[in-house]
Structure 1
Amino acid sequence: MTQSIHFTDQPVEKLPLNIVEGKEEGAKEIASIIADLIKEKEAQGKKTVLGLATGSSPVMVYKELIRMHNEDNLSFKNVVTFNLDEYYPMSSENKNSYVRFMNEQLFDHIDIPKDNIHIPDGSLPINKIEKYCSKYEKKIKDQGGIDIQLLGIGRSGHIGFNEPGSAINSTTRIVKLDPITIADAAKDFGSEKSVPLRAITMGISTILNARKIILTAWGKNKSVILKKMIEEPVTTKVPASFLQLHDEVTIYADEDATTELSRTKAPWIYGMVKWTPKMVKRAVIWLSLELEKPILKLTDDDYKAKGLIDLLALYDGAYDLNIKVFGQIRDTITGWPGGKPGAYEKTRPERPEPAVKRSLIFSPHPDDDVISMGGTLLRLADQGHDVHVAYQTSGNIAVFDDDALRFSSFSVDLMKSQNNLSPDHEKAHQELVKFLKSKKSDDIDTQYVKNIKRLIRQGEAEAACRYCGVKEKNVHFLYLPFYETGLVEKNPMADEDVKIVVDLLRKVKPHQIFAAGDLQDPHGTHEVCLQIIFAAIRQIREAGDTWLNDAYVWLYRGAWQEWDVEDIEMAIPISPEELKRKRKAIFKHQSQKDFPVFPGEDNREFWQRSEARNRTTARLYDKLGLTEYEAIEAFVKYPFDDEESFLK
Structure 2
Amino acid sequence: MEQAISYERIPTNIYADSEEASKAVAREIANLIRQKAKDGKQAILGLATGSSPKKVYAELIRMHREEGLSFKNVVSFNLDEYYPMEADAVQSYIRFMREQLFDHVDIPAGNFHLPDGTVPIEKLAEFCRDYEQRIENYGGLDFQLLGIGRNGHIGFNEPGSLVNSRTRLMTLDLTTRIDATGDFGGLSKVPKKAVTLGIGKIMEAKRIVLLAWGEHKAENVARAVEGSVTSDVPASYLQLHPNASFIIDVAAAAQLIRIKTPWLVDSVTWDRPMIKKAVTHLALTVNKPVLKLTNKDYNENGLSDLLALYGQAYDINIEVFNYLQHTITGWPGGKPNADDSNRPERAFPAKKRVIIFSPHPDDDIISMGGTFQRLHDQGHDVHVAYQTSGNIAVADDEALRFAEFVIDFNEKFEASNTKANKIYKEAVKFLKNKRDSEIDIPEVRHIKGLIRKGEAKNTCRYVGIKKENVHFLEMPFYETGTVRKNPIGEADIQIIMDLIEDVQPHQIYAAGDLADPHGTHKVCLDAIMEAVNRLRHREYMINCWVWLYKGAWAEWDIDQIEMAVPMSPDQVLKKRVGIFKHQSQKDGVVFQGDDAREFWQRAEDRNRATAELYNKLGLAEYEAMEAYVRWRF
TM-score interval for Structure 1 and Structure 2 normalised by the shorter chain: over 0.9
CA distance change for structure 1 residues 21 and 423 in 2, over 3 Å: closer, same or farther? closer
| Aligned with residue 245 of structure 1, among 220, 240, 244 | 240
TM-score (norm 2): 0.95
CA distance change for structure 1 residues 600 and 188 in 2, over 3 Å: closer, same or farther? same
Aligned mates of 1:114, 1:465 — CA distance in 2: 53
CA distance change for structure 1 residues 83 and 469 in 2, over 3 Å: closer, same or farther? same
1:561 has 2:554 as partner: yes
CA distance change for structure 1 residues 614 and 102 in 2, over 3 Å: closer, same or farther? same
| Aligned with residue 411 of structure 1, among 400, 406, 427 | 406
Equivalent pair of 2:280/2:290 in contact (CA under 8 Å): yes
CA distance change for structure 1 residues 581 and 522 in 2, over 3 Å: closer, same or farther? farther
Aligned partner of 2:473 in structure 1 is 478
Equivalent pair of 2:214/2:514 in contact (CA under 8 Å): no
Aligned partner of 1:427 in structure 2 is 422
| Aligned with residue 189 of structure 2, among 176, 187, 194 | 194
- TM-superposed CA distance for 1:167, in Å, is 1.6
Aligned partner of 1:90 in structure 2 is 85
Moved more, 509-518 or 83-92: 509-518
Residue identity in the other structure for 2:491: E
Alignment of structure 1 residues 54-69 onto 2, 5 Å: 54-69=49-64
Aligned mates of 2:127, 2:468 — CA distance in 1: 63
| Aligned with residue 389 of structure 2, among 394, 404, 411 | 394
Residue identity in the other structure for 2:601: Q
Residue identity in the other structure for 1:22: D
Residue identity in the other structure for 1:552: W
Residue identity in the other structure for 2:599: F
CA distance change for structure 1 residues 97 and 580 in 2, over 3 Å: closer, same or farther? same
1:371 has 2:366 as partner: yes
- TM-superposed CA distance for 1:208, in Å, is 1.3
CA distance change for structure 1 residues 357 and 63 in 2, over 3 Å: closer, same or farther? closer
Name the SS for the 2:149 alignment partner. coil
CA distance change for structure 1 residues 102 and 496 in 2, over 3 Å: closer, same or farther? closer
| Aligned with residue 230 of structure 1, among 225, 233, 241 | 225
Aligned mates of 1:303, 1:41 — CA distance in 2: 55
| Aligned with residue 133 of structure 1, among 115, 128, 132 | 128
Aligned mates of 2:466, 2:413 — CA distance in 1: 31
- TM-superposed CA distance for 1:293, in Å, is 0.9
Name the SS for the 2:145 alignment partner. strand
- TM-superposed CA distance for 1:214, in Å, is 1.4
Aligned mates of 2:23, 2:511 — CA distance in 1: 30
CA distance change for structure 1 residues 297 and 212 in 2, over 3 Å: closer, same or farther? same
- TM-superposed CA distance for 1:166, in Å, is 1.0
Name the SS for the 1:354 alignment partner. coil
Alignment of structure 1 residues 606-625 onto 2, 5 Å: 606-625=599-618
Alignment of structure 1 residues 521-600 onto 2, 5 Å: 524-542=519-537, 544=538, 546-600=539-593
Residue identity in the other structure for 1:206: K
- TM-superposed CA distance for 1:257, in Å, is 0.9
Aligned partner of 1:452 in structure 2 is 447
The CA deviation string for residues 325-384 of structure 1, in whole angstroms up to 9 with x for no partner, is 110110000111122222114001122233333322121111111000111112222223
The CA deviation string for residues 128-168 of structure 1, in whole angstroms up to 9 with x for no partner, is 10111111122222222222222111111111100111122
TM-score (norm 1): 0.93
CA distance change for structure 1 residues 456 and 577 in 2, over 3 Å: closer, same or farther? same
Aligned partner of 1:31 in structure 2 is 26
Name the SS for the 2:252 alignment partner. helix
Aligned mates of 1:216, 1:426 — CA distance in 2: 49
Aligned mates of 1:425, 1:345 — CA distance in 2: 54
Equivalent pair of 1:400/1:591 in contact (CA under 8 Å): yes
- TM-superposed CA distance for 1:425, in Å, is 4.6
Moved more, 323-332 or 217-226: 217-226
1:17 has 2:12 as partner: yes
1:173 has 2:152 as partner: no
Name the SS for the 1:479 alignment partner. coil
User: Which stretches in structure 1 are left out of the alignment for 5+ residues?
Assistant: 7-11, 641-648
Aligned mates of 2:36, 2:500 — CA distance in 1: 56
Moved more, 30-39 or 90-99: 30-39
Residue identity in the other structure for 1:449: V
Equivalent pair of 2:426/2:443 in contact (CA under 8 Å): no
- TM-superposed CA distance for 1:431, in Å, is 2.0
CA distance change for structure 1 residues 68 and 450 in 2, over 3 Å: closer, same or farther? closer
Number of residue-to-residue matches in the alignment: 632
- TM-superposed CA distance for 1:110, in Å, is 3.5
User: Which stretches in structure 2 are left out of the alignment for 5+ residues?
Assistant: none
- TM-superposed CA distance for 1:560, in Å, is 3.3
CA distance change for structure 1 residues 61 and 416 in 2, over 3 Å: closer, same or farther? closer
Equivalent pair of 2:251/2:515 in contact (CA under 8 Å): no
The CA deviation string for residues 404-424 of structure 1, in whole angstroms up to 9 with x for no partner, is 121122223333444444454
CA distance change for structure 1 residues 114 and 505 in 2, over 3 Å: closer, same or farther? closer
Name the SS for the 1:636 alignment partner. strand
Moved more, 561-570 or 597-606: 597-606
Equivalent pair of 1:381/1:469 in contact (CA under 8 Å): yes
Equivalent pair of 1:541/1:548 in contact (CA under 8 Å): yes
Aligned-residue Cα RMSD (Å) equals 2.1
Identical pairs, percent: 56
Equivalent pair of 2:213/2:516 in contact (CA under 8 Å): no
Equivalent pair of 1:214/1:252 in contact (CA under 8 Å): yes
Aligned mates of 1:64, 1:316 — CA distance in 2: 52
Name the SS for the 1:199 alignment partner. strand
Residue identity in the other structure for 1:293: K
- TM-superposed CA distance for 1:286, in Å, is 0.7
Name the SS for the 1:123 alignment partner. coil
Equivalent pair of 1:518/1:560 in contact (CA under 8 Å): no
Aligned partner of 1:256 in structure 2 is 251
Moved more, 289-298 or 192-201: 192-201
Aligned partner of 1:108 in structure 2 is 103
